[in-house]
Copies of this chain bind each other. A is one copy, B any other.
Amino acid sequence: MYRDPVQSLETVVPSQAMRALRVGMIGIGTVGSGTFRVLARNHDQIAARAGRGIEIVIVAARNLARAAGIVGEGVALTDDAMRVATHPELDVVVEVAGGTGAARDWVLAAIAHGKHVVTANKALLAEHGGEIFEAARRHGVAVAYEGAVAVSIPIVKALREGLVANRIEWVAGIVNGTTNFILSKMRDEGLDFGAALAQAQALGYAEADPTFDIEGIDAAHKLTLLAANAFGMPLRFADVQAEGITALQGLDVACSEQLGFRVKLLGVARRREEGVELRVQPALVPAEHLMAHVNGSMNAVMVKGDASGVTMYYGAGAGSEQTASAVIADLVDVARLAGTPAAQRVPHLGFHAHAMNALEVLPRAAVRSAHYLRVPVHAAGGIEAVTAWLASQQVPVRRVTLAAPCAAGAQVLVLTEPMAQGALDLAVHALQSHPAVAGAVATLRVEMLEA
C-alpha cells in the first residue's frame, strides 16, 4: 500500500531562495506525531530562522489509517520503511520508530543512499553508533541525534559546540525522567520503590515494562553518548557500570535526607589519570546543590570544563513535542549543511575520527567516590563499635551519626571520604559479620559535584 509520493513531492514549492529540505520519516508514534504538529504550527517561524522550509514528504507507518489522520494531505504514506530509507528524492530520513534491529538496517540503508539521518534513538546509537557514524563518514552524510539525550535540552550541541574550547573533566546527569519521578515520589511521600513505581505507571511516567528505565539501562545509553562527546572516546555502552533503583529502600532515602542529601539516579562520566569512570547509580547529592532540585520527571546535565567551569542544562527528558523540538533542531542543522564539506561539519562525536582516544574504562573496583553506609545495629550503643571498627580498617570516615529512630531499629549512618569502590566493598563485606551489626549494610555513592 502506497500513496503516490511523486505527486506529493511536486507540491513542495521552495518558499525561500533555497528549496525546502525534503524529509522522509520512519515511524509516526509519539515523537513523529509531535514533530508533525510542531512543524505545522511553527512552520513560518522555523523557515524564518532556518532560511529554508522543512517539508516531510513521505512517512512509513505500520498503521496507515492512523498515520493518515496525523500527516494530513500531501504527504505520501507507505508501510515499507525501507522504501523511505532508500527514496531517491529525500535529503534526510528521520528515524523515530525505535528499536535496534530493523532501525539499524533502515539507518544504514539511508546512509548508503546518501541521505542525512536524524534520530532520537539512544539505544540504537549507544549500541551501534560506531558502525553508523563510520558509515556516515564514508558516505559524507550527517547523523544528528540531539533528541537521543535529555530530549528538550540541547546538550549534545552544548558539549560539541558550546564547550568546544574545554577539556571536559566530568559530566553528571539526571537523564532518566521515569526514575527521577519515582525518586521524587519516594522522597516527598515517603514511599518505597514499589509503591512509587506503581504511581508512576498509573500516571504514565513509567511504562508497563519499566525495566530499561529502572535498571539504569536507558541512562547508560545516554551516558555513553555524553561521554563520547565529552572525551572524544568511542561509544562504550557495554562498559558502563549501570545500577538501577530497584534495590533502593525508602529508609535510605529518608536517612540521606537526615544527613543533608537527596538521592538521584546519576549518570557520571569522569576523566581520571588512569582512565574514565562510566557509571550509572543512585547517589547522594548535597541537598543545597542545584542537581538536588531537579524534581519530578525533569532531566539535567552538569558539565565541568577546565575553562568554562561548571555549567548545567535542565529540561524535560521525555514527551512528544519536547522530543520534536530536538528533532526539528537537528533538521535545521542539516538544512544548513548543503554544500558544506564534511571536514568542516561538527563531527558526530565531537572530535574528528583521527583524533578519537581509546580511553580505558575503569573497572568498578577502581571507581573513586565518597560513600554513604547505613549499618543496622542491635542497639544505639553500636555506634561506638562501628566507629572503632571503621577506624581499625582505615576506612576514611567523614562523619558517623545515628539515624532518627525508626521502625527498622537502630541505624548507624556513615559518610566516608573519597575511596576506591573495591576497598569499600571489602570493608563492607567484613563489617557485615561484626557482632554489633544487626542486618544488611546498605551503601550508596555520594557525589559532591563540586565546581
Contacts and interface: CB of A to CB of B under 8 A. Distances in A.
Nearest to A335: B344
A350 B16 CA distance: 16
Q: Which of A160, A164, A290 gathers the greatest number of chain B CB atoms within 10 Å?
A: A164
Interface stretch (A86-94, A150-158, A275-283, A379-387): A150-158
A422 interface: no
Contacts of A290: 290, 293-294, 314
Interface stretch (A46-54, A131-139, A243-251, A398-406): A46-54
Nearest to A289: B293
A341 B17 CA distance: 12
Nearest to A45: B167
A324 interface: yes
A324 B311 contact: no
A338 interface: yes
Nearest to A157: B162
Contact of A49 (B305, B338, B347): B347
Q: Which of A46, A161, A345 gathers the greatest number of chain B CB atoms within 10 Å?
A: A161
Given A293-B288, A336-B345, A344-B51, A308 B152 contact: yes
A162 B309 CA distance: 21
A316 B166 CA distance: 14
Given A42-B167, A293-B290, A307-B38, A355 B48 contact: yes
A312 B314 contact: yes
A55 interface: no
A389 interface: no
A190 interface: no
Nearest to A146: B162
11 contacts: A18-B344, A42-B166, A45-B232, A48-B355, A49-B232, A49-B350, A158-B162, A165-B327, A288-B293, A290-B293, A306-B321
Q: Which 6 A-B pairs have the closest CB atoms?
A: A154-B162, A48-B355, A165-B328, A311-B315, A312-B314, A307-B321
